A and B are shown apart, each in its own frame.
Chain A
Amino acid sequence: MQAQVRIAAGEAQQTTARRVRSSAPLFCEVQDWLFDEADLLDSMRDREWCDTMLSKDIVYRMPVREVVGRGISAGFIEGVYHLNETHGTINMKVARNETGFAWAEDPATRTRHFVSNLRVFEHEDGTLEAKSALLLVQTRRSDTHANIIASERHDRLRREGETLRLFKRDVYVDLTALEVHNLAVFF
């Protein structure tokens, strides 16, 4: 087996990135971007999200997590994923939702992306890093039970023309076994 347990989410990274304080206009711009994104995802505008907010070379991943001893790591495994997407695969899922036969999301589930605990960093090359906590609350049909998935997102954004676009997202989930109907929605 190639996979090895490595240190990942929530742990210090060696970086020369500069912290952007929450009082800075740049911080507000990133926060606005994340809130706008959440609004698109929660209002079934995934085509608009894909076309206007994602970079063509996006790497979008949700690594698998294991239970490991304290002090070893956070349990995320290098190269092992729940989701491992590119712009092509994300586009395929968005296109699927437009076919009229995407039963996992038709009737659509209701999602609410709660984004908080935001910290913003600026790298030397001008790209931005946003670390946020995401609480995804999802309900479906007439169920009163909601699926709640808590995670930490590490996002990388860069300016392409006038707008910021997402070129990397790692979603570090809290759970080792996800309780979901499926992973047909975006985090």
Chain B
Amino acid sequence: MNAPIQHERSDTYVRDIMREVDDGVGAGWVPARIFGNERVYKEELRRIFARCWLYLGHVSEIPNPGDFMLRKMGEDDYIVTRDKDGKIHAMLNACRHRGVHVCRVDRGNAEQFRCLYHGWTFANNGDLVGGPLWKNAYGDMSKSENGLLHVAQLDTHQGLIFATLDAKAPSLKEYLGGMAWYLDLIFGLNEHGVEFMGPPQRCVIPGDWKSAADNSCGDDYHLPTLHKSIAEVNAFPVSFVENMKGYHIQAAPGHSLSFSSAMTEDDPGPRFFGSPQNLVDSFNTSQISADQLHAARMSRVIVGNVFPNFTFIIVPTTDDPNQPPVAGISLKVWQPKGPDRMEIWNQFPVYKNMTQEQKERQYAVTLASFSVGGLFEMDDSEPWSMIHQTGGSVSAEVLDLKLNYRMGLPDTGIAQRLTDFPGPGVVYAPRYEEGVQRNLYKFYADMMSAPLDQWPETSFPSDEL
């Protein structure tokens, strides 16, 4: 793997790059040196991953008191637990005595976590219980001040667990803003909700995490080229041109998504992403509005990214031309692992009221499409493995390489702003448009530039809506 070249940096180095992003992104220009850049990356860990709400998992993964799972916030390990009262906690995996990991397995059920170094022992709600020969060693030293460190805020939305290390961060509801409407449209299609087909599939691939997040905001234009092989082997039931119909949505600052959608009843399907008919029959408005249900019904594909690194994708696909396409659902976290690497955490939700056979079929199809061994995703990692090399190059700096994100600007292409779409956010159609990515980088620059005790706007000014 090519290590990014280290340059001497002034204190204002990253700030200057972010000003350049902020100044240029509205007109569709993003400096390449935000990718594969060690200095930028270190600031991202502090200014984005230690402040934004990050996805940790789903409540169904820790259903019982004592259940726990190790998850990541940025590069750091957090123990996500359900305590004896059923409350969910997320705590830094570090003993308060010497900083040793108190949990060294990926998941399980435990009332306590005991540090292997000196034996300090913590309850699954983080409270320090004690240690060997405690009275001799510590007398009456406060235990309550020496518990595991909790995240600053933890909340759930549709069973999805999010946390932030920033006590001053806006609430999860406020942070998600308009994106909640679209998450509900996926996870609230019926009253049963979803469960996951196992713990995450984890793979470390070369690439800057932003390249994957960028793609997941709605880079539909890459399909006919990068994924041309998919059409050749009949894995995807929608023609690439037809697939450009639909909507690009900036749901809230930083959060973007894209629907491939039938625009009228006469347009071809599949409807509801290709979900099986008996599942479709259970979809209703008990959790969501008629507008949300209608948007889901017309949709063939949905892909989106909750800033910074949580992606959802639903695509009708098949792993075998003799089998009909079905909706494959994948949730991904693009975990940062350096300016040149990311760790993909891939999970597979299924609706609880599907038959076991349908759950396994959907899982198999999704795995065969949207995992590193999948027909779609195996090609995605190829461009992502090169962008950070370009961004981290001396040439990108000396020649001032700016990447082109201009598609869909008023003078560029056919996409038009829609004002009658029922969902929240800034909406464009058709999908020849990169405002979804400009929205990612605008908020990215805002977070990277904001003082650590201040938050940028997490909703669009009303005059833009």
Q: Give the B-binding residues of A (Cβ under 8 A).
A: 1-3, 62, 64, 66-69, 77, 79-86, 88-89, 92-93, 95-96, 99, 101-104, 143, 145, 176-184
Contacts and interface: CB of A to CB of B under 8 A. Distances in A.
16 contacts: A3-B197, A62-B373, A67-B105, A80-B198, A80-B199, A80-B201, A82-B203, A83-B367, A84-B368, A89-B368, A95-B232, A95-B233, A99-B228, A102-B379, A104-B379, A145-B1
B422 to A, nearest CB: 35
Given A92-B375, A96-B229, A68 B206 contact: no
Interface residues of B, number: 49
B195 A103 contact: no
Contact of A92 (B1, B107, B206, B320): B320
B319 interface: yes
B378 A69 contact: no
A4 to B, nearest CB: 10
Contacts of B323: 88
A89 B205 CA distance: 23
Nearest to B341: A179
Contacts of A64: 198-199, 201-202
Contact of B233 (A66, A69, A96): A96
B381 interface: yes
A1 B63 contact: yes
B166 interface: no
A68 B235 CA distance: 37
B184 interface: no
Nearest to A83: B373
A64 B372 CA distance: 13
Given A1-B61, A1-B196, A178-B203, A92 B319 contact: yes
B1 A143 contact: yes
Nearest to B62: A1
B309 interface: no
B240 to A, nearest CB: 12
Given A182-B378, A182-B381, A99 B372 contact: no
A1 B198 contact: yes
A93 B375 CA distance: 7
Interface in B153-184: none
A100 to B, nearest CB: 8
B5 interface: no
Given A3-B198, A84-B364, A85-B368, A103 B321 contact: no
Contacts of B108: 68-69
B75 interface: no
A89 B378 CA distance: 14
A64 to B, nearest CB: 5
B233 A92 contact: yes
By Cβ-Cβ distance, the 6 closest A-B pairs, closest first, are A183-B373, A80-B198, A88-B320, A177-B202, A182-B378, A3-B198
A66 B61 contact: no
A77 to B, nearest CB: 6
Given A66-B199, A178-B202, A81 B379 contact: no
A86 to B, nearest CB: 7
B197 A183 contact: no
B379 A103 contact: yes
A96 B1 CA distance: 27
B193 to A, nearest CB: 13
B289 to A, nearest CB: 30
Chain A CB within 10 Å — which of B63, B373, B375 has the most? B373
Contacts of A103: 226, 229, 379, 382
Nearest to B58: A1
B282 interface: no
Contact of B382 (A92, A95, A178, A181): A181
Contacts of A102: 229, 379
Contacts of A83: 367, 373
B233 A99 contact: yes
B106 A66 contact: yes
A99 B385 CA distance: 22
Given A1-B195, A3-B199, A67-B104, A179 B204 contact: yes
B381 A178 contact: no
Nearest to B67: A1
Given A86-B320, A180-B372, A184-B373, A2 B106 contact: no
A93 B229 CA distance: 10
Contact of B320 (A89, A176, A179, A180): A89
Contact of B203 (A80, A85, A180): A180
Contacts of B107: 66
A179 B205 CA distance: 6
B372 A178 contact: yes
Given A1-B195, A88-B321, A145-B1, A68 B381 contact: no
Contacts of B363: 84
A95 B232 CA distance: 9
B191 interface: no
A162 B432 CA distance: 56
A77 B108 CA distance: 13
B75 to A, nearest CB: 13
A83 B201 CA distance: 10
A166 B62 CA distance: 38
A181 to B, nearest CB: 5
B212 to A, nearest CB: 13
Interface in B189-240: 195-199, 201-206, 226, 228-230, 232-233, 235
Nearest to B348: A80
A10 B70 CA distance: 25
Contact of B229 (A68, A99, A183): A99
B367 A84 contact: yes
Given A83-B373, A177-B203, 10 more contacts: A80-B199, A82-B372, A84-B363, A89-B319, A89-B320, A92-B375, A95-B232, A101-B229, A101-B232, A181-B206
